[in-house]
Amino acid sequence: MNAPVKIETTLKDWETDQEVRWCPGCGDYAILKAVQRTLPQLGADPSNTCFISGIGCSSRFPYYMETYGFHTIHGRAPAVATGVKLANPDLDIWLVTGDGDGLSIGGNHLMHVLRRNVNMQIMLFNNEIYGLTKGQASPTSREGTKSPSTPLGSYDHPARPAAFALGSGARFVGRGFDVSKNLPDVLKAAHAHQGAAFIEIFQNCIVYNKDVFDDFAAPKGAEDRQLWLENGKPMLFAKDTKGLTLNREKLCLEVVDVAAGEDGSPDWEAADVIVHDVTNRTVAHMLVEMPFGPFPMALGVLYDDPRPTFESAVVEERARASAGKDANLAKLLGKGQTWTVSGTAQDPV
């Protein structure tokens, strides 16, 4: 666990005196409150917690958390967070980035923190646009997105953050959206994971990309298009009237109708609906690649299969390298070829 010693706090203990400066209605407000409500439930300690961010609207996050924090440079938050974790492996690290900061200039750094499996929670706010720099198309913007940088519509194929994370070797991949009541559960699962935990959070940019996720994240009427995954539970959605099955000939997922059984509960077994296994990496890839529309949006914990962390290997290596050695700096500096200089510049040669 990231916080072995649990303490009692409230939401107020995690709030700073700084004015929260996002646009009115921005989804970042909801994410901030979700995090501030979740940390007390985890028993986390503000004095042992550090939030690290890059550049972008989401990257103002450390100012609003009553913890240690770094507001770093564009795309380099994963590198700084790795250094902080190696310097103090006991710190609970939260990395905050956006679709532009994390997948454009920072894509290389994000890939390496995931493949190394450095123990931290990585929240990527995905609003499919550059908000801070006035609405240019980002790496996740959909084809056809009109913006100052793509006035005739973007012809780029958008990056898929969760697919990127899996491809980079992430051992935990989760998804949620800003105003979802289930987002805290995803954050808790990420915090419990031992290793790099990646959470893609769909976030509404009220100014430059308003309501782009309404087809599945609107406050009302979109629930039928959400598939909230639970380990060991069948993949049901649309009030349990539909589900996902695995076409074993084509090796792909398909949507099936689910009828009610004799007792009135959904007879998902008769419809051959598959049960979610968070350790199944192959199915996780299928879930993140599902095209929205024909399929629901897969949310919750998509993949969770821990392995030894990077910093634990570094700590073990340091211990082996120093075992049985004398920690004497003066002796170390005097080892090898050394000279003793005496006299002054005025002494005759």
Name residues whose C-beta falls within 8 Å of residue 88's C-beta, 6 or more positions apart in sequence: none
Secondary structure E strands in the chain: 49-53, 68-71, 92-98, 120-126, 172-177, 196-202, 226-229, 236-237, 242-247, 252-257, 297-304
Q: Which of 14-18, 46-50, 342-346 has the lowest mean pLDDT?
A: 342-346
Q: Are 303 and 170 spatial neighbours (Cβ–Cβ below 8 Å)?
A: yes
Domain boundaries, the chain: 11-212+305-311
Question: Tokens standing for 58?
Answer: 């989401």
pLDDT digit string, tens, across residues 170-183: 999 999 999 999 99
Is 80 exceeded by the pLDDT of residue 249? yes
Give the residue-averaged pLDDT of 21-40: 97
With a pLDDT cut of 70, the percent of the chain lying above it is 98
Q: Are 198 and 174 spatial neighbours (Cβ–Cβ below 8 Å)?
A: yes
> How many of the other CB atoms lie within 10 Å of CB of 315?
13
Is 70 exceeded by the pLDDT of residue 1? no
Q: What would the CATH number be for the domain defined by 11-212+305-311?
A: 3.40.50.970
> How many of the other CB atoms lie within 10 Å of CB of 347?
7
* Residue 246's pLDDT band (cuts 50, 70, 90): very high
Q: Are 124 and 98 spatial neighbours (Cβ–Cβ below 8 Å)?
A: yes
Instruction: Specify the pairing of strand 120-126 against strand 196-202.
Output: parallel
What sign does the dihedral 209-215-216-222 (CA atoms) show?
A: positive
Q: What is the pLDDT of residue 235?
A: 98
Question: Tokens standing for 330?
Answer: 């003066």
